Amino acid sequence: MVFPSRRVAILGALAIGILGSVIALRTQWSADTDTGACQMSAETLAAIKPLATGEVAAMQIEPRATPLSELAFLSSDGKPLSLADFKGRTVLLNLWATWCVPCRAEMPALNALQEKLGSDAFEVVAVNIDTRDPEKAMQWLKDNGIDRLTPYSDPKARIFQTLRSDGKAFGMPTTILIDNNGCALGHLAGAAEWSSDDAVALVRAAIGG
């Protein structure tokens, strides 16, 4: 005879097991979907590889594209976003901070790149990771005439930790080139001259791919 309390416990365990299986299947389905989308990026990788030269020679092109659509941060008004919200656009994701001298130095070039190529097909997504006084970054952008970049932020700097654990971030600034399927094409540690002809050619090839 199974006592009521034991029966409830058994049913509860079964329900938890079924729920866990459903979540696992959905997670695996999502991962498989992202990986499948990234397989379509091989042509773009081939197109941009010879263009990682000159001012963007430090760009490390990925051997194969990897999904990054789950990376999360905040909009300028504090609403949660992820790279999935940018699907359909090629993204140059840049992590910066006001305390980082080379980050500040390259912001005008990123601003100029956004002015040159910004469209429904491309955006420079500059995410500030200052962990104190988030308003400071917005004021710095305003004071320095950085008027083409939307002020995204991650005051807990989790996005940097995630990329570092993936081997795509080693210091500041960190920049990731991501295709319109949310797949990483390449990463660059340190500052670069993003408004140069070399950088524009690289980004245009990524957009066109």
Arithmetic mean of pLDDT over the chain: 86
| Claim to verify: residue 34 and residue 109 sit in the same structural domain | no
Range of the domain at 50: 40-208
| Claim to verify: residue 23 and residue 48 sit in the same structural domain | no
Instruction: Indicate the pTM of the whole model.
Output: 0.82
Q: Tell me, what's the pLDDT at 1?
A: 52
Q: Tell me, what's the pLDDT at 209?
A: 57
What is the count of structural domains for the chain?
2
Q: Tell me, what's the pLDDT at 25?
A: 33
Checking if the pLDDT of 174 tops 80, the result is yes
| Claim to verify: residue 100 and residue 18 sit in the same structural domain | no
Note the maximum CA span of the chain.
79
Predicted confidence band of residue 89 (pLDDT cuts 50, 70, 90)? very high
- Dihedral sign (CA 96, 98, 104, 108): positive
Checking if the pLDDT of 28 tops 50, the result is no
Q: Are 68 and 53 in contact (CB under 8 A)?
A: no
